[in-house]
Chains A and B, each alone.
Chain A
Amino acid sequence: MADVDEITEAYADWQVRCNGNRRLAKMLRGWDRVVHLVASDTGDGFTVTVAGSVLADLVPGLVGQPDLVVTATSEDFADLFWGDLNPSEKYVSGDIVLAGSSEDVLRLDAMSMVAFLDQ
């Protein structure tokens, strides 16, 4: 299990990658969303806000009304933010559970992909 600090650290790395990616900035234009992350094994919840093509800092707890809810294990969240996990595969296998529109889901998946294209 990954604890809150591990997930926060992983997210911080992902946030820098995403916010520094010009391609992603274009893709996120007009996509202002509130995303709730729920760790199914620890019960921890986090809120990610995207506004003006910029990812805000990870906020502990579930804040505001979400556009998208992502439920996964804490390990999967940490791996996802480090770019070590393909969320699509986890999604198809049912390990990552989503609630939200298919367009929002695709946008989130795009973020996880485009942020690590240099790998």
Chain B
Amino acid sequence: MTGPRPEGAHAAPAGPTGPTGPTGLRRAMGLRTATSTSTGLAFAALQYLAAAGLVTYVAGDSAWISILVAGLLALLAWGYFGELNGMFPTAAAIRRYMAQAMDDRVALSITFTYLGTIVLVVAADAFVVGAALTHVLHVPTWLTAVWTLALLGLAVASNLRGVKVAGWVQEVATVIVLAATMVVSVVALTRAGTALHTPLQPFHHNSGTNFIESVALGIFLYSAFEWVTTSAEEVRKPEHIHRAMFLAVCILFVVCAVMTTAMGHLLSHGQLVSAYPQLYLGERAFGAAGLWVMAGITAVTAVNTFNGGFITASRFVYATAREGSLPPFLARLNDRAVPWVPVVGLGAASFLVAVVVEVVGGSSWEVLVAMGAALEGMIYAVAAYCVLRLRGRLPDHHRPFRVPLVRVLAIVGMVVFGVLGLVASVSVSNRFDPLPLAIIVVTGGLSALYTVRQVPRLRAAEAARRAATGRRRPARAPGTSPTPTEGPPAPAPTEPPAPVVP
């Protein structure tokens, strides 16, 4: 079966992304789209609530200082993800660098727990948009569940039909949300007609612990900016991802700082801890029209969150199932090649969480914010650990971007993000509440149990199926170079596809 090479078959030696590289792709993502993706993924409707909640921890209009500190810490995380993304420019990066840096079972457990963040954010966003609609329409609160179901149903249906929001739509949505939030915040501040009360006194009537809690919450305002790394294979230039994340952190700082300053300056405590503080801000800026504008803007945030959340989570679950670490039925595809089980599962889980939040009532959504902040702190600490660990384990690996002073900055990151994550997990509404921590521990425990007990069984079953199926590739003729077909049954790297029934 060997033979002469046909004319023209030879290609240039392949680099990390092939000979043509990402720049040669017909459809490639530019820096602008990458930046809007990174910013849009981070700026969910829940961000309004987190920003308002942060204001309650520090002295009113000095909340921007907490956001600045959180932003500087986010830049630390940007350094970690920049180095890791440069080493593994792939959508599967998180699996690759964690598997290289630690035991695969630990890596899988952390990854599954982290995946829970997406469910939380999607659920919380659906609830926030639903609550905002209920408020502006002056209808009974139970209708929030109906809006939530309608929104999630729409997101699930469009995902199942393979609808993906085009890059330009995502860009427009992000620009509208950020610009409107800025305009509303600035106009509201201007109309207040008074100077800021305590712009440089975050500790005024507050303790140092409160400030730490506000920074922990501030981290959440930047969370998910790193999800753009899953687009590493489709950017025009590899460095676009790194630059986009940096620009996103800067943009988020400016918007969130102005927004929290306005909220802290103008809104009452009751408005700040409501499920729609952004509506009150809009009202302060433009009256009733502002209320409607901000309700519309809140709904637009769902475009990015649902699009990014559903696609990221469902494709990750699909890939993990195909890899053999989740049950094969999770890799079932519909006729539009969409992994429908994870999409429906994510929609159902998000709806369940949103309904629980509504039924429990009060500020129960703040538990979701606290969990999100805690899980982000955890994943940033893990990223810092991976950077440090891989410097030792893979010293010669190509690194287009390197974290300077890595020993110091990685250890600082592990400690700071670890502490902030812990603080966030036991703080709800400016008081001690271990519920978020308890939920995270239970979720993490179940993930670990699944990884230790079920994953080996899945892999053993797949190995048995593989051994029974045999190989299709014909053996080479004698005298030609050996292939695996002439040896024993296929080893792990050359196994057949998983037995899924799409």
Contact = CB atoms under 8 A, between A and B. Distances in A.
A90 B493 CA distance: 7
Which of the listed residues A39, A67, A93 has the most CB atoms from chain B within 10 Å of its own CB? A93
Which of the listed residues B7, B14, B162 has the most CB atoms from chain A within 10 Å of its own CB? B14
Nearest to A2: B483
A44 B335 contact: no
Nearest to A107: B337
A90 B4 CA distance: 28
A57 to B, nearest CB: 12
A3 B483 CA distance: 11
Q: How large is the interface on A (under 10, 10 to 19, 20 to 34, 35 or more residues)?
A: 35 or more
A4 B3 contact: yes
Contact of A92 (B13, B20, B96): B96
A90 B483 CA distance: 18
Which of the listed residues B3, B497, B502 has the most CB atoms from chain A within 10 Å of its own CB? B497
B91 interface: yes
Interface string B481-502: 1011000001011111111111
Interface in A2-27: 2-6, 9-10, 13, 23, 26-27
B9 interface: yes
Interface stretch (B128-136, B227-235, B293-301, B376-384): B227-235
Interface in A46-82: 46, 60-62, 65-71, 75-76, 78-79, 82
Contact of B5 (A44, A79, A110): A44
A9 B1 contact: yes
Contacts of A9: 1
Contacts, number: 211
B17 A99 contact: yes
B240 to A, nearest CB: 13
B136 to A, nearest CB: 35
B7 A60 contact: yes
B220 interface: no
Contact of B95 (A1, A4, A61, A92): A92
B256 to A, nearest CB: 28
Contacts of A97: 14, 16-18, 90
Interface stretch (B114-122, B140-148, B444-452, B468-476): B468-476
A99 B9 contact: no
B8 interface: yes
B239 to A, nearest CB: 15
Contacts of B22: 99
Interface in B1-43: 1-14, 16-22, 24-27
Contact of A62 (B20, B315, B331): B20
Nearest to A5: B3
B36 to A, nearest CB: 16
B337 A102 contact: no
Interface stretch (B51-59, B66-74, B317-325, B358-366): B317-325
B322 A88 contact: yes
Contacts of A43: 10-14
Contacts of B2: 3, 5-6
Contact of B496 (A86, A107, A109): A86
Contacts of A4: 3-6, 9
B473 A84 contact: yes
B337 A69 contact: no
B318 A99 contact: no
A78 to B, nearest CB: 6
A83 to B, nearest CB: 5
B75 interface: no
Interface in B310-344: 311, 315, 318-319, 322-324, 331, 333, 335-337, 339
B5 A3 contact: yes
Interface string A86-110: 1111111111011111110111011
A110 B502 contact: yes
Given A4-B9, A66-B25, A110-B337, A119 B17 contact: no
Contact of B8 (A34, A61, A66): A61
Contact of A67 (B16, B27, B495): B27
Interface string B74-111: 00000000000000101110011000000000000000
B191 interface: no
B164 interface: yes
Contact of A83 (B10, B21, B472, B502): B472
Given A23-B502, A89-B323, A69 B333 contact: no
Contacts of B19: 36, 38, 45, 62, 69
Given A70-B18, A90-B493, A99 B234 contact: yes
Given A69-B20, A86-B322, A5 B1 contact: yes
B323 A119 contact: no
27 contacts: A2-B483, A9-B1, A23-B335, A27-B333, A36-B19, A45-B12, A61-B10, A67-B27, A69-B20, A69-B21, A70-B18, A79-B473, A82-B472, A83-B496, A83-B497, A84-B471, A84-B473, A88-B319, A89-B495, A94-B88, A98-B233, A99-B17, A99-B20, A99-B22, A107-B337, A110-B333, A119-B499
Given A5-B1, A6-B2, A86-B322, 4 more contacts: A1-B481, A84-B496, A92-B323, A119-B497
Q: Which 5 A-B pairs have the closest CB atoms?
A: A45-B11, A88-B322, A60-B9, A69-B18, A82-B473
